[in-house]
């Protein structure tokens, strides 16, 4: 649920995320704020998962290389009335903020972006603010996101951030949220920590749901290159491609669901 009143920000109500949280299996008590450590002042690190939230070289540029370019964006959202991106793992919202920045630069009149992210441990406003403050390039997006972010994120946090952009963060286990989502996603950002640290976010069961919820011709991209992730994505119906990763990483994966 969001505690944002769209009337307060002068915009029409957002279109529904079309996810019925009542059908989700994640118990509210499982949705918690995970303890964070901060490295170099503004780089969040999860002791529970033993991993950083994005690459230490530059998470914003990594997002452009892996998630946007890996999904053929921004080219693929041109000439589309509406485009739907799904993400496993909202974290700090960096991927959303960078995508929103590029969307605002590239979009045409009337086009709509729906960005839906699935997150078990939604961060607090001040944590998002601290992490995203690292990048002056996304100052405007950070300020708007944190201004709209609820004190207690739970259920579906649905934010109509401008007249052409809707963000929905579905709080709970990704497996539960994706299972009850509509099958309309055009592109996926698979961003659930390293597969060796969090295999649940890369299971064949979850990848199958992701593929089922992808529109024909839709795509995914991820920095992950582990063999079991590649095999799972191929087994569930994606045509998987290996590409050079970001900042010298040998490989990343992207792929399409056949039309
Ligand atoms: C690598 S971080 C995501 C970074 C993020 N996309 C960003 O822009 O900052 C992985 C995220 O997955 C979340 N996560 C881990 N296991 C999960 C699960 N089973 N279901 C949903 N989210 C999960 C973590 O809480 C964390 O926020």
Per-residue pLDDT of 10-55, as tens digits, reads 233 334 456 766 677 776 666 667 899 999 999 999 999 999 999 9
Say yes or no: CB of residue 99 within 6 Å of ligand 1. no
The rounded Å distance from CA 53 to ligand 1 centre is 8
* pLDDT classification of 2: cutoffs 50, 70, 90: very low
Per-residue pLDDT, 28: 64
Per-residue pLDDT, 125: 98
Per-residue pLDDT, 25: 74
Per-residue pLDDT, 13: 35
The rounded Å distance from CA 170 to ligand 1 centre is 12
CA-wise closest residue to 181 among 100, 68, 86:
86
Say yes or no: CB of residue 191 within 6 Å of ligand 1. yes
| Class level of CATH domain 29-256 | alpha beta
Has residue 95 got a pLDDT over 80?
Answer: yes
Dihedral, 95, 83, 139, 58 alpha carbons, nearest 10: 30
Least confident of 5-14, 39-48, 105-114, 218-227: 5-14
pLDDT tens-digit map of 126-154 = 999 999 999 999 999 999 999 999 999 99
Per-residue pLDDT, 8: 29
More confident: 247 or 3 = 247
More confident: 30 or 110 = 110
Has residue 109 got a pLDDT over 60?
Answer: yes
pLDDT tens-digit map of 161-214 = 999 999 999 999 999 999 999 989 999 999 999 999 999 999 999 999 999 999
Has residue 92 got a pLDDT over 60?
Answer: yes
Domain layout of the chain by residue ranges:
29-256
Has residue 107 got a pLDDT over 90?
Answer: yes
Say yes or no: CB of residue 188 within 6 Å of ligand 1. no
CA 210 – CA 199 distance, rounded (Å): 15
The rounded Å distance from CA 10 to ligand 1 centre is 31
Say yes or no: CB of residue 62 within 6 Å of ligand 1. no
Least confident of 3-7, 82-86, 87-91: 3-7
Give the percent of the chain with pLDDT over 70. Answer: 90
Token readout for 249 is: 């990483």
Say yes or no: CB of residue 141 within 6 Å of ligand 1. no
Say yes or no: CB of residue 174 within 6 Å of ligand 1. yes
Pairing of strands 112-119, 82-88: parallel
Has residue 229 got a pLDDT over 60?
Answer: yes
Q: Which of 24, 86, 91, 154 to mutate to test the pocket of ligand 1 (most atoms within 8 A of CB)?
A: 91
| Mean pLDDT in residue range 241-248 | 96
For the chain, the farthest-separated pair of C-alpha atoms sits apart, in whole angstroms, at: 48
* pLDDT classification of 156: cutoffs 50, 70, 90: very high
């Amino acid at each position: 649920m969001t505690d944002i009143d769209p009337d307060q920000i002068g915009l029409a109500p957002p279109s529904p995320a079309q996810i019925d949280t009542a059908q989700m299996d994640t118990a509210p008590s499982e949705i918690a704020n995970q303890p964070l450590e901060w490295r170099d002042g503004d780089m969040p690190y999860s002791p529970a998962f033993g991993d950083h939230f994005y690459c230490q070289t530059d998470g914003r540029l990594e997002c452009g290389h892996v998630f946007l370019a890996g999904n053929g964006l921004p080219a693929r959202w041109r000439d589309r009335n509406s485009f739907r991106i799904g993400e496993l793992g909202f974290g700090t919202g960096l991927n959303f903020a960078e995508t929103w920045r590029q969307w605002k630069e590239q979009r045409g009149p009337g086009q709509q972006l729906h960005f839906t992210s699935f997150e078990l441990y939604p961060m607090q406003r001040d944590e998002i603010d601290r992490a995203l403050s690292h990048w002056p390039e996304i100052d405007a997006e950070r300020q708007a996101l944190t201004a709209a972010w609820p004190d207690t994120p739970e259920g579906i946090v649905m934010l109509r951030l401008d007249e052409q952009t809707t963000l929905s963060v579905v709080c709970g286990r990704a497996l539960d949220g994706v299972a009850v989502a509509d099958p309309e996603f055009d592109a996926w950002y698979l961003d659930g920590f390293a597969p060796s640290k969090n295999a649940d976010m890369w299971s064949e069961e979850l990848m199958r749901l992701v593929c089922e919820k992808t529109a024909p011709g839709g795509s995914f991209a991820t920095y992950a290159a582990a063999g079991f992730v590649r095999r799972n994505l191929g087994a569930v119906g994606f045509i998987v491609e290996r590409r050079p990763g970001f900042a010298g990483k040998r490989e990343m994966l992207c792929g399409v669901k056949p039309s």
